[in-house]
Amino acid sequence: MPRSHQTDLDIEQDIDYHKRSWRRQRIAWVVMAALIIATLLGLFGPGLLGDSVAGAKGAPLWMEFNRFGRLDAESTTLRLHVEPGAAGGGPLRLWLNRDYLERVRVMHVVPDPQSVEIAADRYVYVFAVQDASKPTTITFDLEPDCVGLLRGQVGVEGGSLLDFSQFIYP
Amino acid sequence: MEAVLRAVAIYAFLMLLFRIAGKRSLNEMSNFEFVLLLIVGEATQQAVLGKDYSVTNAFLVVLTLISINIALSLLKQQSERLKRIFDGMPLVIVENGRPLKQIMDKVRIVEDDVLEAARELQGLERMEQIKYAVLETTGIISIIPKKE
C-alpha cells in the first residue's frame, strides 16, 4: 500500500482510491435521487405510474387498480365500477379468477357481499342491488401473497370481463 | 409515494424537535436518555412504515432518509445561512478560566459538565487551567487548555 509522502504520519493513504470512491458516491447519489423521483411518480406503488384502469371509463364494467403492489402489505386495491344495465336484473354477480385469488389475501370487500360462491375457476361475489339503474362501485382491498407478475380476470356473470396484470415487489 | 412522504415528514419533525430541544439533548446520554431515544425510535417506526412491512417499503424509507441527509449536507455546504439554521453555531462557555454563567444557563450546562469534559479530553484538574471551553454544534464541549 502506498503511504503518505507529504507528512510524517504512519498512515495508509491512497488518494486515487478516495477519488474513485467519491466518483462512485456521486453516481450513487444520482441513482438514489432517481429512485425517489420514481417512487413519487408511483413506480413502486400508488401514483401516476402505478394507478391504472382496465376497460374504458363508462363501459358496463371498468376497473381502477394498482399496477404495482408489495408483498405482505395491504397495498393493492381493485375498484370495480359497474354501470347501470351491466348486471341485468337481480343481484350483481361479480367474479374474480381463482388463480389470482390464490395469490392474494382479500382483506376487505366494500360493500360486504351477500355471499361468495366457489366455482371451478373463479370465486363469485354476490351483491344485493336495490336500484340497478344507478352505477355501483365495489372495492377489493388485497394483500399480495407472492412476488412477481400477477395476472387476473374479473367480470360480471353473463356480462363483460376484464384482464389485468400487476407486479408485486418483495 | 407514501413511503417518501412519510419519511420526509418524520425527518422534518424530528429535525425541528431536536433543534428546539437544544444541542445538549441526547448528546451525553444518561441511561434514561438512551431509553428515551429507543422509545422515540419505536414510536416513529410505526408512523414511518404504516401497515406496510414489505422489504421494498423499508428500502424506500431508508433510501429517502439517507438521501435527505445527503441533500441537506450539500445544501449546508453551499449556504452558511442554512448551516446555521440546521446545525446552529459553536458557543464559547468558558473564557480564560472564567465560566460565562449567563450563557451556560441558557444552554443548560453547569460547571461540572465543563470540568468533566476538561478531565476527559485534556486531563485538566481545575477551571483556571481552561483557556476556552466551547459548546460545539454537535453538542460536545471542546476544551482548549491554557499554556503552562
What is the pairing mode between strands B130-135 and B91-95? antiparallel
Can you give the CATH number for the domain in which B128 is found?
A: 3.30.240.20
Q: What are phi and psi of B84, to 5 degrees?
A: -65, -40
A73/B70 CB distance under 8 A: no
What integer pLDDT is reported at residue A5 of this predicted model?
Answer: 54
Query: How close B61 comes to chain A (CA, Å)?
Result: 10
Kindly determine whether residue B56 and residue A40, on different chains, have CB atoms separated by under 8 Å: no
A36 touching B (Cβ < 8 Å): yes
The pLDDT-based confidence of B18 (bands split at 50, 70, 90) is confident
User: In terms of domains, do B83 and B101 share one?
Assistant: no
Residue A148: predicted pLDDT: 93
Q: Does A74 touch chain B (CB under 8 A)?
A: yes
Element at B91 (helix H, strand E): strand B91-95
Question: Smallest Cα–Cα separation from A136: which of A91, A105, A76?
Answer: A91
> CA B30 to CA B24: how far, in whole Å?
12
The pLDDT score that the predictor gives to residue A134 is 83
Q: Is A22 on the interface with B (CB under 8 A)?
A: no
Q: Are residues B77 and B62 in the same domain?
A: yes
Q: For B57-87, write each residue's pLDDT tens digit.
A: 999 999 999 999 999 999 999 999 999 988 8
Quick one: B61 and B99 in the same domain?
A: no
Distance from CA of B54 to the nearest CA of A (A): 6
Cell of A69: 403492489
Interface check A41 vs B, CB under 8 A: yes
A53 min Cα distance to partner chain B (Å): 19
Q: Model's pTM, two decimal places?
A: 0.79
Is the same domain home to B99 and B127?
A: yes
Contact with chain A for residue B54, Cβ under 8 A:
yes
Grid cell listed for B48: 414511518
B2 membership: H or E segment, kind and range: helix B2-21
Any idea of the CA torsion for A46, A51, A54, A58, to the nearest 10 degrees?
120
The highest-level CATH class for domain A51-169 is mainly beta
What is the per-residue pLDDT across A93-148, written as a single tens digit (0 to 9) for each? 999 999 999 999 999 999 999 999 998 899 999 998 887 778 889 999 999 999 99
Residue A39's CB is within 10 A of a number of other CB atoms, namely 26
pLDDT digits (tens, 9 = 90+) for A60-101: 889 999 999 999 887 788 999 988 876 666 788 999 999 999
- pLDDT score at A135: 86
Residue B87 confidence (pLDDT) = 87
Among A36, A42, A75, select the one facing B63 at the smallest CB separation. Answer: A36
Q: How much is the pLDDT for A43?
A: 92
Tell me: do B40 and B67 sit in the same domain.
yes
B6 to chain A nearest CA, in Å? 12
Tens digits of residue pLDDT in A33-56: 999 999 999 999 888 999 999 988
Residue B47 domain boundaries? 2-87
Cell of A68: 404495482
Residues B97 and B47 in one domain: no
Number of domains in chain B: 2
- B25 has pLDDT over 80: no
**Predicted confidence (pLDDT) at residue B5 exceeds the cutoff of 60:** yes
